[in-house]
Amino acid sequence: MNNAQLQAIESIIKSQSEGEILTLPASVYQSDWFDVIDKTAVLHKSWQLVAHLSQLQHQGDYVVHEVADQPVIVVNTGDEIKAFHNVCRHRAGPLAFENGNAKTLMCKYHGWNYHLDGRLKSAPEMHTTQGFNVCDHRLPEIKTAQWQGLIFVSFDEVIPSINEVMSGIAENIQPIDLSQMKFYRRDEFILDCNWKVYVENYLEGYHLPHVHPGLSRLLDYKSYQTELSQWHSYQYSPLDQSDSFYGQGQAHYYFVYPNTMLNILPNRLQTNQVLPLINNQTKVIFDYYYPNIADIEQLIAQDQSFSDEVQDEDIMICEAVQKGLNSGSYDRGIICQKREKGLQHFQQLIRRAYASVLDKT
């Protein structure tokens, strides 16, 4: 790390002691160098959502995913759910390009073939290669955890447990049980903005009346609340039942640091994952889940078209904000303490992650 980089991090951390009502500076949403720190100090040191048990019900079912430059494959081995780097030990080929079911995991490059538990089973035409022994090779495993049917991985052994990160959520959403939901559909969006711009936009309801007129009619803005926990924040609002096609209940919007959202409405779970790509682009993944109940089709159709409308509005504002951050006319702003508590909480955790980088230099 060079001096300019050290000074940049020091000034970001110092801004905390000057009063947390100031936002992070524009530079953290721009530089390639912060991308590396975001991936290694934030995303690789946290639980990353990769699948739901409903996608891995049978032996041999597998799901592929990519988190901050790490290709991952999650497998039902018949005994348990395991996750591996989706990277063959021969010359780094992929075991799978898309989700599926198989008796073994065969590399797509030259056909090395792995048992579902990651041990190498066979490797074509390798028997005459000196020093090669099938038993010496296996896919490297990645730490996994399950919570309410959702499967997470971590690339770091030393992070808080998933139950600590999710503390209080299962109790609060009762009688909803997310493990009873079934995966229905995935949508992916590529945005021209830094991943933190999208996360921060999610973390405040301040923009609702201006950006989302339709959503504002569904939710009661005056009753919109944000509560903070150590590793997550919670936004909620009663549904206006005269308008709501979701039925009776409450909208629960959980943000789980650093990049996962759980949007829970009666009879519906939508997870969002916010993933940085190169060149300051962001991939946002929406996975939809619904329970196995009668007459759900109409709710699904309405839910998805309504979500698309809200997402289009969010994409437009996030990409405009990124242009503002890039303009050179703006560095830091003041956070609205009544409406942007969740954003402030996220920025505190980001500052702490950046400080951990300094500690290691």
By CB under 5 A, name the binding residues for Fe ion: 314
CA angle 19, 195, 94 (to 5 degrees): 140
Site for ligand FES in 213-242 (CB under 6 A): none
124 vs 214, beta carbon nearer Fe ion = 214
Residue closer to ligand FES, measured from CB, 124 or 209? 124
Q: Closest approach of Cβ 305 to ligand FES, in Å?
A: 42
To Fe ion, the closest distance from the beta carbon of 311 in angstroms equals 8
Nearer to Fe ion, 144 or 272 (CB): 272
Minimal distance, residue 109 CB to ligand FES, in Å:
4
Q: Least Å distance between CB 142 and ligand FES? A: 18
105: partner contacted, choices Fe ion, ligand FES, none (Cβ within 5-8 A by kind): none
Q: What is the 8-class DSSP label of residue 353?
A: H
CB burial class (10 A; 0-12, 13-18, 19+) of residue 344?
buried
d(CA 71, CA 61): 17
Q: How far is CA 288 from the centre of its chain?
A: 14
Q: Which is nearer to ligand FES, 111 or 291 (CB)?
A: 111
From the list ligand FES, Fe ion, none, partner contacted by residue 111 (C-beta under 5 to 8 A by kind): ligand FES
Q: Which does 330 bind (CB under 5 to 8 A by kind): ligand FES, Fe ion, none?
A: none
Site string for ligand FES, 89-118 (x = CB under 6 A): -xxxx-------------x-xxxx------
90: partner contacted, choices Fe ion, ligand FES, none (Cβ within 5-8 A by kind): ligand FES
Q: Smallest distance, Å, CB 294 to Fe ion?
A: 32
Nearer to ligand FES, 91 or 323 (CB): 91
In the complex, the smallest distance separating the C-beta of residue 96 from ligand FES, rounded to whole angstroms, is 12
132 binds ligand FES (CB under 6 A): no
Q: Burial level of 25, CB count in 10 A (0-12/13-18/19+)?
A: middle
- Minimum distance, C-beta of residue 112 to ligand FES, in the bound complex (Å): 4
Residue nearest to Fe ion (CB): 314
Neighbour order of strands in the sheet with 105-106: 105-106, 113-114, 120-122
Amino acid code (one letter) for 343: L
Chain positions 30 to 89 lying near ligand FES, rule: CB under 6 A, are 88
Per-residue tokens: 83: 């996750």
User: 61: which 2 tokens?
Assistant: 């079912």
* Secondary-structure percent of the chain, ordered helix, strand, coil, rounded to 5: 35, 30, 40
Of residues 88 and 321, the one with the C-beta less far from ligand FES: 88
What size, in residues, is the chain? 361
Three-state DSSP class for 112? coil
Q: Which amino acid is at 200?
A: E
Contact between 255 and 261 under an 8 Å Cβ cutoff? The reply is yes
Q: Which of 98, 145, 93, 128 is nearest to 114 (CA)?
A: 93
- The contact set with ligand FES (CB under 6 A) reads 88, 90-93, 107, 109-112
